[in-house]
């Protein structure tokens, strides 16, 4: 499983059926019955249980990006997106990075914050002293609520708190348990625990408890990816003379994102183009991922790019790194309902054995997407390839309306 080189020459030229055959030959766990599952899509009956006021099912293309090498292991990346340039750009950039050693990643443990808001307190300092005094028993109480999570090695590992002040309601305490959710996304578990904590906090602090919910800014759940590109790989000319010029232009683009919020927003959107496509394919909450990424990009007090890019002119190499919070999951009943998610897991193979492994793919995809966009912007411009790929969709659209 995953012991293959994920390069499939001419993959984009093949028909969908030929691509399936190519993937089945590489991804040993993907068989004909899995493609049949994908064709069945989401049954209306199941969709009705997944959401409210359901009247139908909305389909999107399910694609695969080859060429990725993450932590010295080849991987095929499933993507759900209607944007062809995202898939094409990822495959192209992944190939260039693979030729330079692939992506190297580091992913934190799956620890995330819950929040309990307490206001109307008579004495903030005394309330903090009470929390310190009863902290351990509160942790024990919360862990008794989640025996299955404890069996998997997770659970509440700490409780902290912060004193804040609002001109509307005055001083408040934010009580923040840290929960290791292991391979789950964690939202439901954390929300359940925060609501269970509410009466305990009310009794202990004698204050008014407001919100009891997780925080999607999971800066204790970071994912980092880095890669290098030689000037030779960046050059578009046959003599490979202009690679340093392209690298210099990419550095200039990064510099603009570092000082201009308008550019930084578009820069980070490019990163999320790829991450969202993997998140949808694997049944993860792309809305939460986007919120966390943009909030993290603002944590210094001003909004900036999530990447760091530098040049080593002596060795003729461009270095790039992406860091962002990633709360993703590979287990949960919701993931089992969607046939597309089940097929995506089969394609990913060992990269869904843990959420840390899946996060390593997603952060690599984010970095690849960003570099691909920057390279296009700094050479032919973003529209040349973008519109060429859109011409195929436009042709199909015209035929569809004609019928």
Rounded Cα–Cα distance for residues 111 and 186 (Å): 9
Rounded Cα–Cα distance for residues 67 and 348 (Å): 13
What Cα–Cα distance (Å) separates residue 227 from each residue in 20, 138, 320, 370, 387? 29, 43, 6, 12, 28
**Residue in this structure with the two tokens 């590992």, named with its chain if needed:** 157
Catalytic residue selected from 269, 316, 319, 390: 269
Task: Write the CB contacts of 360 (distance below 8 Å, at least 6 apart in sequence).
Answer: 70, 71, 103, 105, 107, 223, 225, 351
Instruction: Give the CA radius of gyration of the chain.
Output: 24
Catalytic residue selected from 71, 83, 202, 244: 83
Say whether 285 is catalytic.
yes
Query: Residue 18's CB: how many other CB atoms inside 10 A?
Result: 12
Say whether 386 is catalytic.
yes
Rounded Cα–Cα distance for residues 298 and 286 (Å): 19
Catalytic residue selected from 180, 183, 276, 285: 285
Say whether 240 is catalytic.
no
Say whether 316 is catalytic.
no
- b/e map 351-385, b = 16+ CB within 10 Å: bbebbbbbbbbbbbbbbbbbbbbbbbbbbeebeeb
| Phi, psi dihedral angles at 360 (to 5 degrees) | -65, -35
| Phi, psi dihedral angles at 5 (to 5 degrees) | -90, 125
Active centre residues (catalytic): 83, 269, 285, 386
């Amino acid at each position: 499983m995953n012991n293959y080189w994920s390069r499939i020459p001419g993959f984009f030229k093949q028909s969908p059926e030929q691509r399936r055959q190519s993937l089945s030959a590489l991804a040993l766990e993907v068989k004909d019955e899995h493609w049949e599952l994908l064709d069945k899509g989401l049954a209306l009956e199941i969709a009705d249980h997944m959401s409210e006021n359901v009247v139908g099912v909305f389909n999107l293309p399910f694609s695969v990006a080859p060429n990725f090498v993450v932590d010295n292991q080849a991987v095929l990346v499933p993507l759900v997106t209607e944007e062809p340039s995202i898939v094409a750009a990822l495959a192209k950039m992944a190939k260039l990075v693979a030729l330079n050693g692939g992506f190297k990643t580091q992913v934190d443990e799956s620890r995330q914050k819950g929040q309990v808001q307490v206001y109307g307190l008579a004495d903030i300092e005394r309330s903090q002293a009470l929390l310190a005094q009863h902290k351990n028993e509160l942790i024990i109480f919360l862990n008794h609520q989640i025996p299955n999570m404890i069996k998997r090695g997770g659970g509440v590992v700490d409780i902290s708190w912060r004193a804040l002040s609002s001109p509307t309601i005055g001083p408040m305490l934010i009580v923040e348990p840290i929960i290791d959710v292991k391979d789950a996304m964690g939202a439901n578990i954390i929300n359940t625990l925060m609501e269970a904590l509410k009466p305990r906090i009310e009794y202990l602090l004698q204050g008014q408890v407001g919100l009891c919910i997780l925080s999607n800014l999971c800066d204790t759940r970071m994912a980092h990816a880095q890669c290098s590109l030689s000037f030779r790989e960046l050059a578009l000319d046959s003599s490979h003379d202009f690679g340093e010029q392209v690298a210099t232009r990419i550095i200039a683009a990064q510099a603009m994102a570092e000082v201009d919020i308008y550019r930084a927003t578009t820069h980070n959107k490019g990163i999320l183009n790829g991450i969202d496509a993997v998140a949808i394919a694997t049944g993860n909450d792309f809305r939460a991922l986007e919120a966390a990424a943009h909030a993290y990009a603002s944590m210094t007090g001003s909004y900036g790019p999530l990447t760091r890019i530098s040049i080593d002119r002596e060795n003729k190499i461009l270095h790039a790194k992406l860091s962002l919070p990633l709360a993703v999951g590979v287990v949960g009943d919701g993931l089992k309902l969607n046939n597309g998610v089940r097929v995506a897991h089969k394609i990913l193979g060992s990269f869904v054995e843990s959420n840390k492994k899946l996060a390593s793919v997603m952060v690599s995809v984010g970095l690849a997407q960003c570099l691909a966009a920057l390279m296009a912007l700094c050479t032919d411009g973003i529209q040349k390839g973008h519109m060429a790929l859109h011409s195929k969709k436009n042709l199909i659209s015209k035929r569809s309306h004609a019928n």
